[in-house]
Amino acid sequence: MENTQALDQSQPGLSKRVKKAIERQQLSQRTEQSYLHWITRFITFHDCQDPEMLAEEEQHAFLRYLDERAQVSRARLNQAKQALVFFYEDVLDKVESRDTAAA
């Protein structure tokens, strides 16, 4: 499933919202690619559920999965954490506790 399809399946118009937030923050192309990758993996990990309905526990579950089961490197795990913080704060306008970044 393509990134934009997964995002829009979880919430119509979500891919456009992500891209607009990326433009507002003037993120580099590499950061944009990385964030889109991790946001899409997060959405597909939770079966394309509406991310507005996912609580911090679901974010922690995804990060635990990456750390323990997928065994991604510490740098990649940090990228995923930052992508989720960006996604919830800058795209969905939800202020999450910084516990997500510490998970």
Write out pLDDT tens, residues 36-71: 999 999 999 999 999 999 989 999 999 999 999 999
Please check the confidence at residue 99 and state whether its pLDDT lies above 70.
no
Task: Identify which of 17, 77, 95, 19 has the alpha carbon closest to the alpha carbon of residue 50.
Answer: 17
Q: What is the mean pLDDT of the chain?
A: 91
Domain ranges of the chain: 3-102
Q: For 103, how many CA atoms within 13 A lie in the half-sphere containing its CB?
A: 26
Q: For 10, how many CA atoms within 13 A lie in the half-sphere containing its CB?
A: 28
Q: In the CATH hierarchy, which fold is given to the domain comprising 3-102?
A: DNA polymerase; domain 1 (1.10.150)
**What pLDDT does residue 101 have?**
47
pLDDT in tens, 69-98: 999 999 999 999 999 999 999 999 987 655
pTM: 0.89
